[in-house]
Amino acid sequence: MSASRALLSSPHGGASRTFTRAPTRLAAASIPFARCGALRARTAILSSPAATVPVTSSEPKRRISRSVSDSAPLAKPAVLVAEKLGEAGLDVLRQFADVECAYGMSPAELLAKVAQFDALIVRSGTKVTREVLEAGRGRLRVVGRAGVGIDNVDLQAATEAGCLVVNAPTANTVAAAEHGIALLACMARNVSQADAALKAGKWQRAKYVGVSLVGKTLAIMGFGKVGSEVARRAKGLGMHVIAHDPYAPADKARAIGAELVSFEEAIAKADFISLHMPLTPATSKVFNDESFGKMKTGVRIINVARGGVIDEDALVRALDSGKVAQAALDVFTVEPPAKDSKLVLHENVTVTPHLGASTVEAQEGVAIEIAEAVGGALRGELAATAVNAPMVPAEVRTKLLEMSVIDCDYGGKSFF
Mean pLDDT of 287-304: 98
pTM: 0.72
Catalytic residue among 306, 312, 369, 372: 306
Q: What is the pLDDT, as a whole number, of residue 404? A: 52
Q: What is the pLDDT, as a whole number, of residue 41? A: 35
Q: Could you tell me which of 280, 277, 281 has the C-alpha nearest to residue 263?
A: 277
What phi and psi values does residue 167 have, to the nearest 5 degrees? Answer: -130, -175
Residues 44-62 have pLDDT tens digits of 333 333 333 333 434 444 4
Planar angle of CA 353, 359, 365, nearest 5 degrees: 125
Residue 219 has pLDDT above 90, yes or no: yes
Catalytic residue flag (residue 354): yes
**Residue 11's CB: how many other CB atoms inside 10 A?**
13
Residue 249 has pLDDT above 80, yes or no: yes
Catalytic residue among 290, 335, 361, 402: 335
Q: Could you tell me which of 230, 222, 123 has the C-alpha nearest to residue 174?
A: 230
How crowded is the C-beta side of 279, counted as CA atoms within 13 Å? 22
Mean pLDDT of 315-340: 97
Q: What is the pLDDT, as a whole number, of residue 392? A: 54
Catalytic residue among 354, 369, 381, 397: 354
Distance of CA 314 to the CA centre of its chain: 24
CATH 3.40.50.10800 applies to domain 173-351: no
Residue 416 has pLDDT above 50, yes or no: no
Cα–Cα distance between 307 and 312 in angstroms, integer? 8
Amino acid making up residue 90: L
Q: What is the pLDDT, as a whole number, of residue 330? A: 98
Q: What is the pLDDT, as a whole number, of residue 149? A: 85
Q: What is the pLDDT, as a whole number, of residue 5? A: 35
Q: What is the pLDDT, as a whole number, of residue 75? A: 84
Q: What is the pLDDT, as a whole number, of residue 393? A: 53
Mean pLDDT of 279-301: 96
What is the sign, positive or negative, of the torsion defined by CA atoms of 194, 197, 202, 207?
A: negative
Catalytic residue flag (residue 59): no
Cα–Cα distance between 383 and 119 in angstroms, integer? 14
Range(s) of the chain covered by CATH 3.40.50.720: 34-171+361-414, 173-351
410 vs 43: which has the higher pLDDT? 43
- SS3 letters across 321-351: HCCEEEEEECCCCCCCCCCCCHHHHCCCEEE
Residue 120 has pLDDT above 80, yes or no: yes
CATH 3.30.43.10 applies to domain 34-171+361-414: no
Catalytic residue flag (residue 189): no
Which residues neighbour 320 within 8 Å (Cβ) at sequence distance 6 or greater? none
